[in-house]
Structure 1
Amino acid sequence: MSFTARPGSSIIDAYSLEVSAKDIPALTAVAPRILPGSMVSIPYLPREDNDARLTAAQAVRRLGFEPMPHLSARRISSLAELDAFVKRAVAEAGVERCFVIAGDPSTPMGPFSDSSSLIETGVFERSGIKVVGVGGHPEGHPAMSAADRWDVLERKCDSIGRRGMTPLIVTQFAFDADIVLTWLKALRERGIDHPVRVGVPGPAGVAVLARYAALCGVSACASMWSKYGISLGKLFGTAGPDVFVDRLAAGLTEAHGKVSLHFFPFGGIAQSVKWIEQYRARAEPTTR
């Protein structure tokens, strides 16, 4: 037997997906092709209300997956709203994990200015939440310095752990695997050993990827795009994360800790699942 396994064959096995409430029908259509128990993250979009998010979480649970609804601190109007949503999510959708973010508004709609303030309410552990996800930013953050990013991440993880829950770090989608590997090394050197899910842009049109990158403040320099396998002179056609996943997987060692992939399906859920299936097939060992 000879093995021609591709580097990404291990980290791609336990992937997770980002799926908005409006995309539940698309998730339902491909559900039989996704590993049961996979994590499905439900973003907090301003055009979707709490009932829509709860309905989405219920659908994800019925499909046999683990729902992880997002909570946007600056968009939550009161402690009562937070408490009611989390309790309903646990009772009605069996939610065991939530993801907390500050959110886009510069002025909070209620008492919560950042994700730390949500964690500190005690709502999550009292409601039975077991895992709290927080964001990681290997390629930078538009409003925080590198030192501030590390300080905030360490404090949030410590607070979650002290409350008897498990921290999960989910990074913003990235395009430069070398930057991600360097960030993971620094993370572990700081003693932060919690599981990390690295954000990966699913296959999509190059112009679509560029637009999402700009909206999220992700660097879009020519050298970064080239490392991802994209030429800025060719904004037509579709690009997949083959080069990124290959480079990331090849560079990972035991020192990087527990790392898996989290897909942002910008080109559609079906397209991302198809890419994963094809990549996995190419990564499997072959016999002669």
Structure 2
Amino acid sequence: MSIPAADGPPTVAAVVREQLLAGSSLEMTGDDAGALVAARHLLTDGTRVNITFLAREDLAIRIEAARTVVALGLTPVPHIAARRMRSEEDLQEHLSAFRSVGAANNLLLVGGDPASPLGPFASVAELLRATSLADLGVQAVSLAGYPEGHPKIDPSYLVSELATKLDLLRQQGISADIVTQFSFDADAILGWIERTRKAGVQVPIRIGVPGPAGVNQLLRFARRFGVASSAAVVRSYGLSLTGLLGTTGPDRLVAAISERYSRARHGEIALHFYTFGGIAATARWIMDARDVRALDMSGETEERQ
């Protein structure tokens, strides 16, 4: 990789940051197709775009979003929520529809929100045991990770269940990675990755970070998903009480991850952006952040192993 020079050689953190951003992905809803078209010029070819599975959006909306992602030369990653599948036929209908627009190669599988399953699958593991995704054209699957835990699931169960799902995917010959819930805390993120690696999970991990958005909007999402208290967000982002009406980006969080990253401890990682403030704002932030000349260049060149 060629890094343009600034006032001195790029720091290790600057190189890591460039690598994390080069392979970054982002999230959209079915309603975001128009916004994605408008922001396409800000995105690199092949960028992975995850298409969420919201209860208020039907399959037709998600298929149209996937069609748009493909047409724009980007890589669609539709979400499939196991507990929302009403039957095996329902699952096959979803995959067939995504396959018809060239969007079934890569999926993200998540359990889903319903307290009771709408069909036969209470979990992703049950779906994988019952269905050969490889026979339905799936080549790669992303699984969910939770650096700050899940409000309804015991942490030890999350780790063991993750290993089970990865083993089921290996048996089907499907490659895997992990996409984490968004977090505001670099210590929580990197600590969770280290523990996950020590548990034997070595697949690539995409770290979920919030894109630039209004501060109060970020606080609402943090409370809604149970990932952090308002005080923790303010502390992690270095915000002041007078700045709560403004907009903030993940600069401080991404810098902290870049500075503390160790290949030996954390393995292969990239960034995944949740576009709470809009796709264009996130895409522009990524584009601007990838200009390494704007980074802090202290002249440090030691390679961390």
Match of 2:32, SS state, is helix
What amino acid sits opposite 1:137 in the alignment? Y
- The percent identity for this pair of structures is 36
Change (3 A) 1:189 1:21: same
The answer as to 2:269 corresponding to 1:259 is yes
Q: 1:135, 1:27 → 2: CA distance?
A: 23
- Matched with 1:134 is 143
CA contact (8 A) 1:9 1:283 kept: no
Match of 1:11, SS state, is helix
What amino acid sits opposite 1:192 in the alignment? V
The answer as to 2:275 corresponding to 1:269 is no
CA contact (8 A) 2:46 2:74 kept: yes
- Matched with 2:301 is none
1:90-130 Cα deviation digits (max 9, x unpaired): 23224211111111110111111122222222241111211
The answer as to 2:40 corresponding to 1:31 is yes
Unaligned runs of 5+ in 1: none
Summarize the alignment of residues 102-251 of structure 1 with structure 2, pairs less than 5 Å apart: 102-220=111-229, 222-231=231-240, 234-251=243-260
Q: 2:147, 2:43 → 1: CA distance?
A: 27
Q: 1:18, 1:134 → 2: CA distance?
A: 14
Q: CA deviation at 1:234?
A: 4.0
Q: CA deviation at 1:190?
A: 1.4
Q: 1:277, 1:196 → 2: CA distance?
A: 21
Superposition CA RMSD, Å: 1.7
CA contact (8 A) 1:4 1:284 kept: no
- Matched with 2:300 is none
Change (3 A) 1:274 1:219: same
Q: 2:83, 2:242 → 1: CA distance?
A: 38
Q: Which of 3, 21, 38 is 2:9 aligned to? A: 3
The answer as to 2:85 corresponding to 1:72 is no
Q: 2:284, 2:226 → 1: CA distance?
A: 28
Q: 2:204, 2:9 → 1: CA distance?
A: 29
**Which segment is superposed worse, 232-241 or 134-143?**
232-241
Q: 1:192, 1:100 → 2: CA distance?
A: 17
CA contact (8 A) 2:144 2:181 kept: yes
Q: CA deviation at 1:284?
A: 6.0
Match of 1:156, SS state, is helix
Q: 2:37, 2:130 → 1: CA distance?
A: 34
Q: 1:212, 1:135 → 2: CA distance?
A: 18
Q: How many residues align?
A: 286
Q: 2:234, 2:175 → 1: CA distance?
A: 34
Change (3 A) 1:283 1:210: farther
Q: What TM-score comes out, normalization by structure 1 length?
A: 0.94
Match of 1:246, SS state, is helix
1:219-261 Cα deviation digits (max 9, x unpaired): 2152453122234564210111001000001111112111000
CA contact (8 A) 1:42 1:53 kept: yes
- Matched with 2:27 is 18
Q: CA deviation at 1:282?
A: 4.5
CA contact (8 A) 2:222 2:230 kept: no
Summarize the alignment of residues 43-82 of structure 1 with structure 2, pairs less than 5 Å apart: 43-82=52-91
CA contact (8 A) 2:214 2:246 kept: yes
Unaligned runs of 5+ in 2: 298-305
CA contact (8 A) 1:203 1:275 kept: yes
